[in-house]
Chain A
């Protein structure tokens, strides 16, 4: 293999790795328990629930958001694409509400597996996980794009 071919191969590998890393946390989906009667949410409805502006699902029933941990790249992706705010802006927003008695930020799950486990048992909870983590215990309401 020539030096040029080697550089090309390394570049392809590097790009592929980056794409793999990207896709591994791209494709977040908003989910509820498979037992929930709710069938779909829009981007705006998802945003309102996670920003504390709506406390129930469109058809009724309490909606309690469950966040990914702060360290999760999925959290940044979710807030940027769904609420239009970065994770930092969302934190600032919640700081403003929580220190003034106007709202309580969503509780955090440890990771997608934990969030999925909590949601599966509680139809009031709504969270977001990687598309690849979806199984029969949860129902997809909205695919983040």
Chain B
């Protein structure tokens, strides 16, 4: 299977990338329709974000000028400094095209995204074929989003999110896509809408954004997840929606160009690229229980990653409550990440990463297809004294404009 490996298409300049995608979006959109029995459709999404650090721990972490708020771990979307509004970490433009035929029984879908966090480089995020066996069962193969979380599939679609950015304590991992196959089952079970999904695949991601957070903004670390197997089950009825997920894989990394050295304030110029380390197993367990009751909106999600043989485990969760007032939607969300040492394996209880964020969000629906949001994030560092890199506390103000087309 083709590996898109992070998918950079050598588009270095953000303006060029946005123009390219914009032209593509226009072309796709304007050519929607049916040609020779093939149903073409195009759509897209845009988030324009601007954020400013409002305070926090003033210190340099790796080569980041902090206070820093990590808005997007997977893409290294980091707000830093405290003087100017920054628009790169959350801004993105995506286009999607689908060609379907035989009454939508077969389809091919591609989605490309340009992100400010990656200086506008265009990534091919999705490219998959679908075969609809019947009304209930669909087979898909290609490149898709790894469904670790409730909002994994829609993490780039700002209009579909109640926040300016996803709570980073939960939505921050090294792999977000995979190449593979999946079988999706959709049905009604005693009044419950059911979607079950089984998947298998692998992912090799060059120049991981996640590892820049820990190794420095210029670091390049490659990530390999192999033998990915898993499934998720979503049950919804009336105002309640629950989701269970389990995914396992082997995981490996290799450092390509070295880590920022705090002593010399540099990357080691003589660093020799490592090989992929031995594969470590990981088992991901997640549950989400969400409610849309009357005007109330409740989002809860918990994830645990167990790594047999390693000396730490991950726990992360969010709890959010919002209320719809016509087109307005205020929301308060608490999120926390906590690493836990496995002492038997040599883990240091004082050397674990931990942080929690309280976010106050306000969304206003401009139209049915667009919204503006304001969000204040206040993050507290709860890492142990032996943990590094220690980003410290941070406060961020963000404005976003989201639309789909």
* Residues of chain A within 8 A of B43, CB atoms compared: 98-99
| B130/A92 in contact, CB under 8 A | no
How far is A98 from B365 in the complex, measured between Cα atoms in Å?
20
Q: How far is the CA of A70 from the CA of B368 in the complex (A)?
A: 7
Q: Per a CB cutoff under 8 Å, which of B45, B104, B111, B138 touches A95? A: B45
Is A3 part of the binding interface, using a Cβ–Cβ cutoff of 8 Å?
Answer: no
Q: Are A55 and B369 in contact (CB under 8 A)?
A: no
CA distance A48 to B194 in the complex (A): 13
How many A-B pairs fall under 8 Å by CB? Answer: 60
Contact with A along B33-49 (1 / 0, CB 8 A): 00000000101010000
Chain A residues with CB under 8 A of B62: none
Q: Which of A81-108 contact B (CB under 8 A)?
A: 86-88, 90-93, 95-96, 98-102, 104
B85 at the interface (CB under 8 A from A): no
Q: Which residue of B128, B145, B160, B184 has the most chain A CB atoms within 10 A of its CB atom?
A: B160
**Given known A-B contacts A55-B135, A96-B154, A99-B153, A91 and B368 have beta carbons under 8 A apart:** yes
Q: Are A95 and B160 in contact (CB under 8 A)?
A: yes
User: Is A99 a contact partner of B188 (Cβ separation < 8 A)?
Assistant: no
CB nearest neighbor in B for A90: B368
Q: How close is B291's CB to chain A, nearest CB, in angstroms? A: 13
Once the chains bind, are A88 and B365 in contact (CB under 8 Å)? yes
In Å, the complex CA distance between A39 and B292 comes to 32
* Alpha-carbon distance between A45 and B170 when the two chains are bound, in angstroms: 36
Candidates B96, B107, B188; contact of A54 at CB < 8 Å: B188
* CB of B24 to closest CB in A, whole Å: 16
**Shortest Cβ distance from A87 into B: residue:** B368
List B residues 26-84 near A (Cβ within 8 Å). Answer: 41, 43, 45
The answer to whether the Cβ of B109 comes within 8 Å of any Cβ in the partner chain is yes
Q: Are A99 and B193 in contact (CB under 8 A)?
A: no
Task: Provide the bound-state CA to CA distance between A93 and B157, in Å.
Answer: 11
* Given contacts A91-B368, A95-B404, A102 and B184 within 8 Å (CB-CB): yes
- Asked if B157 contacts A99 (CB within 8 A), the reply is yes
Shortest A74–chain B CB gap in Å is 13
Give the size category of A's interface with B. 20 to 34
Instruction: Say yes or no: A70-B369 contact (C-beta < 8 A), given A56-B135, A99-B96.
Output: yes
- B340 at the A interface (CB under 8 A): no
Q: In the complex, what distance in Å separates the CA atom of A88 from the CA atom of B370? A: 8
Q: Which residues of A contact B153 (CB under 8 A)?
A: 96, 99-100, 102
* Segment 350-404 of B: residues with Cβ below 8 Å from A: 365, 367-369, 371, 404
**CB of B195 within 8 A of chain A?**
yes
- Nearest chain B CB to A75 CB, angstrom units: 8
In the assembled complex, the Cα of A21 lies from the Cα of B371 at a distance in Å of 27
B184 near A95 with CB under 8 A, answer no
Cα A101 to Cα B141 in complex, Å, equals 11
B327 touches A (CB below 8 Å): yes
Return A46 CB to nearest CB of chain B, in Å: 15
Q: Does B159 contact A (CB under 8 A)?
A: yes
Residues of A within 8 A of B215 (CB): none
Asked if A53 contacts B135 (CB within 8 A), the reply is no
A99-B45, A99-B96 given; A92·B160 CB < 8 A? yes
Tell yes or no: B226 within 8 A of A by CB. no
Min CB gap A23→B, angstroms: 22
Across the two chains, which residue of chain A brings its CB closest to B138?
A101
Give the residues from 128 to 151 in chain B that come closer than 8 angstroms, CB to CB, to chain A. 128, 130, 135, 138, 140, 144-145
Q: What separation, in Å, do the CA atoms of A93 and B404 have in the docked complex?
A: 12
Q: Which residue of B lies closest to A103 (CB)?
A: B186
Contacts of A100 in B (CB 8 A): 145, 153-154
Chain B positions 86 through 112: 1 when the CB is less than 8 Å from some CB of chain A, otherwise 0: 000000000010000000100101010
| Residues of A close to B138: CB separation below 8 A | 101
Tell whether, in the assembled complex, residue A92 and residue B159 are in contact, meaning their CB atoms are under 8 Å apart: yes
Nearest Cβ in chain B — how far from A57, in angstroms?
13
Assembled-state Cα–Cα distance A86/B297 (Å) = 14
Return the chain A residue nearest B186 by Cβ.
Answer: A102
Tell me which residues across on chain B come within 8 A of A98, comparing CB atoms: 43
Which of B104, B157, B193, B371 makes the CB contact (< 8 A) with A104?
B104
17 more contacts with CB within 8 A, not counting A98-B43, A104-B41, A104-B104, are A48-B188, A53-B188, A53-B193, A54-B188, A55-B135, A86-B365, A88-B327, A88-B367, A88-B371, A90-B368, A91-B404, A92-B160, A95-B159, A99-B111, A99-B157, A100-B154, A101-B107
- B interface residue numbers (CB < 8 A to A): 41, 43, 45, 96, 104, 107, 109, 111, 126, 128, 130, 135, 138, 140, 144-145, 153-154, 157, 159-160, 184, 186, 188, 193, 195, 327, 365, 367-369, 371, 404
Q: What are 22 contact pairs spanning A and B, CB under 8 A? A: A48-B188, A53-B188, A54-B188, A56-B135, A70-B367, A70-B369, A87-B368, A90-B368, A91-B159, A91-B368, A95-B157, A95-B159, A95-B160, A98-B43, A99-B153, A99-B157, A99-B160, A100-B153, A101-B140, A101-B144, A102-B153, A102-B195
